[in-house]
């Protein structure tokens, strides 16, 4: 999800790469679950998140939608799945009664990043550190964080291929947003949205096969359909 704020307002002003040390380690969150509550539609799932959830829980997106763990929402004109925030407190549907993530090992990439964010430029991205949002007391709590290597914090294997995938996915979604914002044909907008959902999300992934190979195959199909 894009945010219309300046980096100076929300970060320490630095940009980070995988091998950099960043003051993001919140020591197991110590009873805080602030970023699992009231997040609206912002915990968006990418295809790798859906693959990882399927591997860990044995459930595809259709099943997670049926269980109301996940919902579909429109972000910048594009229909994408996100973790559902439920009830008056708007708690993530995967947050357990003790305020811990019930799917920690398979949690989405957005959750792995926090309090880091990504900034995209020239076909690539770097990370920035959000200084006012992590911990119950925002900036005060931020002072208690320790340094950790970005790659360790993100806790995702095969980071070179993952980085490549994240870039491709980001620019694919951005292109689609552009097309949909210019489209005056509602039927075409609907077709593109449904096609993307179908190809990248609704068709179950093969849990035992390499994700990135499957993504490339689906990407080729997406391009073949003139999207
Ligand atoms: S998936 Fe887990 S870490 Fe992410 S918002 Fe939900 S409870 Fe929090
Ligand atoms: S806001 Fe920060 S400390 Fe609190 S749960 Fe999220 S990552 Fe952990």
**Whole-prediction pTM value?**
0.93
Query: Tens of pLDDT along 143-168?
Result: 678 999 999 999 999 999 999 999 99
In contact, 213 and 48? CB cutoff 8 Å: no
- Residue 5 counted as domain residue: no
In contact, 85 and 91? CB cutoff 8 Å: yes
Checking DSSP bridges between strand 91-92 and strand 124-129, what pairing results, if any? unpaired
Torsion of CA 217, 222, 48, 90, to 10 degrees: -160
- Residue 1 counted as domain residue: no
Which atom number of ligand 2 is nearest to the Cα of residue 141?
3
Verify whether ligand 2 is closer than 6 Å to residue 41 (CB atom). Answer: no
Verify whether ligand 1 is closer than 6 Å to residue 107 (CB atom). Answer: yes
Instruction: Identify the three-state secondary structure at position 85.
Output: strand
Range of the domain at 26: 12-227
Residue bearing the bigger pLDDT, 227 or 197: 197
- Residue 4 counted as domain residue: no
Verify whether ligand 2 is closer than 6 Å to residue 153 (CB atom). Answer: no
- Residue 7 counted as domain residue: no
Verify whether ligand 2 is closer than 6 Å to residue 142 (CB atom). Answer: no
In contact, 44 and 81? CB cutoff 8 Å: yes
Closest residue by CA, ligand 1 atom 4? 111
The domain tally of the chain equals 1
Query: Tens of pLDDT along 34-63?
Result: 999 999 999 999 999 999 999 999 999 999
- Residue 3 counted as domain residue: no
Instruction: Identify the three-state secondary structure at position 156.
Output: coil
Which atom number of ligand 1 is nearest to the Cα of residue 92?
6
């Amino acid at each position: 999800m894009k945010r219309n704020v300046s980096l100076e307002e929300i970060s320490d002003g630095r940009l980070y790469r995988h091998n950099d040390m960043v003051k993001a380690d919140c020591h197991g969150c110590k009873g805080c679950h602030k970023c699992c509550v009231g997040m609206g539609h912002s915990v968006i799932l990418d295809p790798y998140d859906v693959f990882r959830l399927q591997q860990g829980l044995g459930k595809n997106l259709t099943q997670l939608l049926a269980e109301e763990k996940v919902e579909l929402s429109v972000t910048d004109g594009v229909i994408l799945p996100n973790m559902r925030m439920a009830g008056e407190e708007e708690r993530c549907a995967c947050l357990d009664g003790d305020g811990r993530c019930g799917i920690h090992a398979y949690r989405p990439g957005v959750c792995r990043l926090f309090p880091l964010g990504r900034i995209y430029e020239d076909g690539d991205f770097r990370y920035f550190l959000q200084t006012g949002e992590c911990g119950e007391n925002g900036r005060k709590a931020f002072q208690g964080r320790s340094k950790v290597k970005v790659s360790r914090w993100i806790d995702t294997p095969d980071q070179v291929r993952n980085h490549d995938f994240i870039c491709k996915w980001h620019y694919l979604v951005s292109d689609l947003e552009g097309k949909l914002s210019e489209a005056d044909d509602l039927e075409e907008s609907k077709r593109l949205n449904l096609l993307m959902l179908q190809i990248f999300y609704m068709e179950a992934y093969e849990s035992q096969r390499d994700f990135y190979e499957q993504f490339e195959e689906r990407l080729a199909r997406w391009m073949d359909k003139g999207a």
